[in-house]
Amino acid sequence: MNFDYDLFVVGGGSGGVRAARVAATEVGAKVGLAEEDRYGGTCVIRGCVPKKLMVYASDFSRQLEDSVAFGWIVKHDGFDWQKFRRKLHLELDRLEAVYRSLLNNAGVETYDHRAKLLDSNTVKVGEKTFTARTILIATGGRPFRPNIPGIENALVSDDIFNMEKLPKSMAIIGGGYIACEMASIMNGLGVETKLIYRGDQILRGFDKEVRDHVAAEMVKNGVSICLNTDVTEINVTEAGLELTKSNGKKENFDKVLAATGRTPNSNDLGLDSSDIKIGKTGEILVDKYSKSSNGSVYAIGDVTNRSNLTPIAIREATSFIDTVFRDNPSRLDYRFIPTAVFTAPEVGTVGLTEEEASELGPLEIYSTKFKSMREGFAGREDRVFMKLIVEQKNQKVLGCHFVSPIAGELVQLAAVAVTMGATKLDFDRTIAVHPTISEELVTMRKPTRRT
């Protein structure tokens, strides 16, 4: 059978664009791609990139305060949200143009329409229909709105970057990394911020000591955290948005952000007509090679709900190309995925938590808390936290965790060692760089405890 395309990609985010580009330029495939919204996807347009720029913006409030302790005379007239927002959207427009240019230069034929599968090898794009030998779904995810009366009055993470003005107060519902990052950002921009979470501690899934330390430091920096509490209703009042909590108490805020997670963007894609199985949360079920229950349809990225990180989607795209177009079946190892949470302070982590590692056998735990030189000189009470989780029997480092300034930068380098299977002896014989925060990573000689 002759097909219109060797590969048709549904979704123009990081994973879909990478797969389309590599297929077209490196294996010579004829490729089509459809994107109904903006090219670049969640990460570039409404996620990682604008969020990180907001992190930078929010951190300047601390830097301005600290600069006085270092002898600078600073005039501080506050934060201009409108100025920042204009420049932010110019940058997002520039990045989207880059993504479009990359696809165009690669020879990928693009369609600015929603695509829907009609069968295993056919997609409908707008009013046109195309056939493809292989279809790749890379449609990402979307914010989840909890079932709370009045939730339509709340923002979701996609809305944050489009606010007309900065609110004076904001309640954030949720305790995951998006909620915690947004709480730190808003607090840094001068917004009175309260985080309301139904669990007993924020950042579920991270190491317990990390969670406890981050929560304490966030509170120290001005974020109010309300745990073991649900929001039961949101009402519009003259005073703003009134939240009713599960303890019966009511509070008013200018804005409410619902940051209770994301859900796979798999609705209305024609999956039923292609006999593609989906899971309980709407995720496309795939095997270890990203193949769906339909042999000619694959899926990568957040729509599969495996590990919802941009670098993972990109690596899954590369593995997909190796498997399908290079006859070299390739799969990802999801065990050692470095990740960062851009709270204030930042979290950087790679490998296992202590709770996960304890299932493997006896452990040695190395940890430290200290005040960094910069924070100490500035008169702050902030504490850095570092932790190594080591397997007793072979001294292999199973997990490395940071809570500190630039923790995301630190953990990227530590991830190389952990992924290679470094032992505690490898860390011990590494020369420290002094004076730095990271030198503590290689100077923790004695375990704080054994489990």
Q: Which residues are the active-site residues? A: 434
Q: At CA 87, angle to CA 81 and CA 88, rounded to 5? A: 80
Report DSSP letters for 153-199, one per residue.
GSB-GGGGGG-SS--SEEEEE--SHHHHHHHHHHHHTT-EEEEE-SS
Amino acid letter at 432?
A: A
Beta carbons of 138 and 19 less than 8 angstroms apart: yes
State residue 158 phi and psi, 5-degree precision: -60, -25
Beta carbons of 265 and 302 less than 8 angstroms apart: yes
Beta carbons of 144 and 262 less than 8 angstroms apart: yes
CA–CA distances in Å: residue 302 to residues 15, 128, 142, 382: 9, 27, 9, 35
Q: How buried is 106 (Cβ within 10 angstroms: 0-12 exposed, 13-18 middle, 19+ buried)?
A: middle
Tell me the pairing of strands 141-143 and 262-264: antiparallel
Q: Please list the residues that pair with 338 across neighbouring strands.
A: none
Beta carbons of 153 and 242 less than 8 angstroms apart: no
CA–CA distances in Å: residue 100 to residues 17, 106, 271: 9, 10, 27
Measured from the Cβ of residue 272, the count of other Cβ atoms closer than 10 Å reads 9
CA–CA distances in Å: residue 180 to residues 114, 174, 224: 32, 8, 11
d(CA 224, CA 195): 6
d(CA 340, CA 350): 9
Measured from the Cβ of residue 147, the count of other Cβ atoms closer than 10 Å reads 6
Residue with tokens 């990802």: 332
Residue with tokens 């929560």: 215
* Cα radius of gyration (the chain): 24
Beta carbons of 318 and 157 less than 8 angstroms apart: no
d(CA 165, CA 85): 9
End-to-end CA distance of the chain: 61
Query: What is the DSSP-derived secondary structure letter of residue 44?
Result: I
